[in-house]
Amino acid sequence: METRNCQNCKKDFNIEEDDFSFYQKMKVPAPTFCPECRLQRRLIWMKGSALFKRKCDLCGEEKLSMYEPEAPYVVYCTKCWWSDKWDARDYAMEYDENRNFFEQWNELLHKTPVFGLSTDKITSELSPYTNHVGDSKNCYLIFYSYLVEDSCFGFQYTNVKNVYNSGTIMEVDGCYDSSHVYKSYNIVCATGNNRSCYNSFFIRDCEGCHECFGLSSGKNMQYAFLGEQLDKEKYLKRLEEIDLGSNEQYQYWKSKVQEYYNTVSPRPVWDTLSQNISGSYVFHSKNVKNSFDVVDSEDSKFLMLIKLGRVNDSYDYTDWGGNVQQVYECMTVGDQAQNIKFCHDCGHGIHDIEYSKLSTGGSFHFGCVSMKKPEYCILNKQYSKDEYFRLRLKIIEDMNRNPYVSNNGQRYVYGEFFPPEFSPHAYNDTFASRFFPLNKEVVIEKGLKWYYPEEKEYNITIKNKDILDNINDVDQGILNEVLSCAKCPRGFKVIPQELQFLKQHNLPLPRECPFCRIWEKVDVWVENMKLHDRVCDKCQIDFKTHYSKERAPVIYCKTCYKSEYL
């Protein structure tokens, strides 16, 4: 083991013997930033939910974009970016050995077309108000999702239908106001981690439960109410007395269930069918350390948000997955990818890609932007195989001899991810701001961007306090109204498919705008991606869990939890 001092936070961090073996295999130097600062650096590239109207620089049509209208990039709509009307090699640059490589790459990023929204062509046509979404239809304002139908207002939906106001939902049909639900049906207000449940309300950490209302850590239970086992007749009678279509009653029961949750321990970590792992929400994995929200992975470290699984032999890798191996220091990479280093938003049958953004279906790219299929390209210029490898080694030597120096004096040589100031996104509209909050002054001092929301006048027609309490009293006229948000200055409208869903499931009109609802669920996910030191309230041993004292006043260690609840 070796102890090093982080370039950014100046704290010591350890590099284990196995880590050095991985770096040697990947032919990269050991990191000079600690794991937390490496994660922050990647997350600065993980765009938030702000969307803008901007004209496509190819077809001229006004479309939605993740880039502000004045952002100094060439931005194509999804249809144009995926078309054959242009070739990224037309923007190629000759490598200049007298200039820093990172600065040359940043110049290339500013002149090569990028897509306004990270979606495929089908999604852009059938769900245009989405970003970082694939194979989805009839969806509205969902982000970082895949295989979704008839769903709105959420983050990290995977293979779902009819999901609203939720986050981290997988293989579910019918879900509302929930987080971390898997293989379930007709679920309202679930939290913690729930799987194989149906027709249940206000559940936490349940498995195989159905017809339950207010239950924590239940397994194969039916007709439970606030943790109490009832017979069918009593359970149904209780439900008859509750009208969740009333916002007043919905909020009352949400608070009542939380009081019940506070008296019992949640599951301290989730590591189902996993061996030799550390972190939480790690499923069906082996030898995966310091990782969160990961499925079907092996021999890896510092993973996060690997929702499609099958990841092997990878480090410092955030978002995506899908039959991937040997990925290092990457953000949003996946789908049949191998040997990918220091890349962002690359995938679909790629291999041997370094320092690139939006490489799709190609191989042997170094410092490229928006390359689709060509091989042996550097700064978007195509070379012969021998020329490529010769120039690649030359650039690496130059990067080490002539490092990029950031505003904070940090040195970027070969082996470091892109400098944060190269991210096209404002810090306060990235996921970095949720994990590592910084105020505007600090962000500007670091040379990063800050998003100033447009001061927009909303023609509010219904103030928040005047929104009808019960969905049964709401008619189609609500679709023409502008409601005020309870949390922010925005106004928002109820959309037709949302109203249909709420009426069908007897749920009240929302009191917050879509963006406040989405970020609420993102923040729940963020909290679950952190570990806290706690003391078991039963055996008094020290252990780590993703629950802080504020979120779970009572907590048991894994052993005591199993003996008490499983």
Q: How do residues 368-417 score in pLDDT, each as one tens digit? A: 999 999 999 999 999 999 999 999 999 999 999 999 999 889 999 999 99
Q: Identify the domain boundary among 339, 365, 400.
A: 400
Residue 53, pLDDT above cutoff 90: yes
| pLDDT on residue 408 | 83
Condensed to tens digits (0 to 9), the pLDDT of residues 116-126 reads 999 999 999 99
CA distance 63 to 60: 9
| Percent above pLDDT 70 for the chain | 100
Assigned token pair, 383: 């070379």
CA distance 25 to 370: 27
* Structural contact between residues 236 and 247, judged by C-beta atoms closer than 8 angstroms: no
Residue 376's Cβ-side half-sphere holds a number of Cα atoms within 13 Å equal to: 10
Neighbours of 31 (CB within 10 A): 24
Residues 254 and 178 in one domain: yes
Condensed to tens digits (0 to 9), the pLDDT of residues 452-506 reads 988 888 999 999 999 999 999 999 999 999 999 999 999 999 999 999 999 999 9
Residues 295 and 256 in one domain: no
**Which DSSP string do the residues of 66-125 spell out, in sequence order?**
SS-TT-SS-EE-HHHHHSSS--GGGG-----TTS-HHHHHHHHHHHS-EESS-B-HHHHH
Residues 179 and 254 in one domain: yes
Angle CA 111–115–118, to nearest 5: 145
366 is a domain residue? yes
Assigned token pair, 75: 């931005």
289 is a domain residue? yes
Residues 281 and 250 in one domain: no
Segment 152-163 mean pLDDT? 97
Residues 395 and 280 in one domain: yes
| pLDDT on residue 414 | 98
| pLDDT on residue 455 | 80
Residues 235 and 321 in one domain: no
CA distance 354 to 28: 11
For 186, the domain range is 147-261
Residues 234 and 295 in one domain: no
Segment 49-72 mean pLDDT? 97
108 is a domain residue? no
Residue where the block lists tokens 């995938």: 347
465 is a domain residue? no
| pLDDT on residue 309 | 80
Residue 544's Cβ-side half-sphere holds a number of Cα atoms within 13 Å equal to: 10
Residue 275, pLDDT above cutoff 90: yes
Would you say the C-alpha torsion 466, 470, 472, 473 has a positive or negative sign?
negative
3-state class percentages of the chain: helix first, strand second, coil last, to nearest 5? 25, 35, 40
Helix (H, G, I), strand (E, B) or coil at 466: helix
Residue 67, pLDDT above cutoff 90: yes
Residues 289 and 243 in one domain: no
The mean pLDDT value of the chain amounts to: 97
β partners of residue 483: 462, 492
Segment 429-437 mean pLDDT? 98
Residue 530, pLDDT above cutoff 90: yes
Residues 249 and 287 in one domain: no
Q: Identify the domain boundary among 365, 400, 435.
A: 400
| pLDDT on residue 407 | 82
172 is a domain residue? yes
- pLDDT band for position 566 (50/70/90)? confident
Look up the pTM and report it.
0.96
6 is a domain residue? no
Residue 7, pLDDT above cutoff 90: yes
CA distance 130 to 141: 5
Q: Cβ neighbours of residue 53 under 8 Å, at least 6 residues apart?
A: 62, 63, 64, 65, 69
Number of domains in the chain: 3
Residues 257 and 285 in one domain: no
CA distance 371 to 389: 18
Residues 214 and 301 in one domain: no
| pLDDT on residue 88 | 98
Condensed to tens digits (0 to 9), the pLDDT of residues 164-222 reads 999 999 999 999 999 999 999 999 999 999 999 999 999 999 999 999 999 999 999 99
| pLDDT on residue 454 | 81
Segment 286-315 mean pLDDT? 96
Q: Identify the domain boundary among 400, 421, 436.
A: 400
Q: How many helices (H) and strands (E) does the chain have?
A: 13, 33
Residues 315 and 389 in one domain: yes
- H or E segment and range at residue 366: strand 363-366
Q: Where are the beta strands (DSSP E) in 245-343?
A: 275-283, 286-295, 297-306, 311-312, 315-321, 324-334, 337-341
137 is a domain residue? no
Q: Let me know if 263 is exposed, middle or buried by CB neighbors in 10 A (0-12, 13-18, 19+).
A: exposed
Q: Cβ neighbours of residue 205 under 8 Å, at least 6 residues apart?
A: 192, 193, 194, 216, 217, 266, 267
| pLDDT on residue 453 | 86
Segment 262-282 mean pLDDT? 95
341 is a domain residue? yes
